[in-house]
Amino acid sequence: MSRDAMTRQMQTGQGFIAALDQSGGSTPKALRLYGVPETAYATEAEMFDLIHAMRARIATAPGFTGDKVIGAILFEMTMEREIAGKPAASYLWEEKGVVPFLKIDKGLEAPANGVQMLKPIPGLDALLDRAVAHGIFGTKERSVILGADAGGIADIVAQQMDLGLAVLAKGLIPILEPEVDINAPDKSAAEQILLAALLKGLDRVPAGQQVMLKLTIPDQAGLYAPLIAHLAVMRVVALSGGYSRDDACARLAQNPGMIASFSRALTEGLSADQSDADFNTALTAAIDAIHAASTS
């Protein structure tokens, strides 16, 4: 796999990143929305088989290509499995031209100081080595900001940067994701604090290297323009955060330079019982809408 080609695609590609990284906690909800009830599986292994089948159906769909979907974030189990007879990351890049990323976070700590920090990641070094061996380009790590607590936000950015530097040391590109909860009563104020904390934190990125940022679409359009222009930032991507696809796309379109990295908003309207033709039509419509919002 050509990392130079992947880097060029992530720096300049006109498209968005698909978030196909639902973990154990979020998988049952993702399957319910896909029309698969919890009665359809009896074990965790069966649950993960079903979610992998959904992800593989998306990845192999005709409209899912690097022309509009420039990257995809995978769950660890997805990285270890095959899609259409090839290792998942190899399939995405070699067959679809989609740059593969890996979700590495292991969930959130209990709320404190207005944030939920990342839980420890056991075996991080070995996980990153496996990612490199699989041809993964970068990682994603999510923590959550619940309110405009400057101390909590400073802590969350410091933790994200610490992890990001460890990822960079392995030759991978980290997507740092300090998500601001869309239901936070002081969301706009939290975003202003986060912007200042990130600009300060980016001073820690070694010269000549870059990270990516995955952020909630801000209330103030264009707020993150200084991050988009920052030399240490490869790309600023937007999470849908619970907004509907239409709402998320409308908000994203007001923020030039940000591109989508949607999960629920991407799979909205897809169902396990759809025919392949109907499924592909619905997925292509979603891809077209998210691509348009990402490149407007």
Token readout for 186 is: 């002081």
* Whole-number Cα distances in Å, 246 to 22, 125, 126, 265, 290: 21, 39, 40, 8, 9
Token readout for 188 is: 């706009």
Q: How far apart (Å, rounded) are the C-alpha atoms in residues 152 and 114?
A: 6
Per annotation, catalytic residue among 96, 140, 187, 214: 214
Per annotation, catalytic residue among 141, 177, 179, 191: 177
* Whole-number Cα distances in Å, 243 to 26, 49, 126, 248: 16, 27, 35, 5
* Whole-number Cα distances in Å, 176 to 167, 173, 211, 212, 214: 10, 9, 7, 6, 6
Whether 187 is catalytic is no
Q: How far apart (Å, rounded) are the C-alpha atoms in residues 17 and 66?
A: 10
Residues near 88 by Cβ (< 8 Å), separated by ≥ 6? 59, 74, 78, 79, 80, 81, 82, 100, 134
CA 239 from centroid of its chain's CA atoms:
7
Residues near 250 by Cβ (< 8 Å), separated by ≥ 6? 293
HSE (side-chain half, CA atoms, 13 Å) at 174? 24
Token readout for 118 is: 């990342």
Q: How far apart (Å, rounded) are the C-alpha atoms in residues 127 and 123?
A: 6
Q: Which SS3 state, helix, strand or coil, does residue 43 take?
A: coil
Whether 80 is catalytic is no
Active centre residues (catalytic)? 177, 214
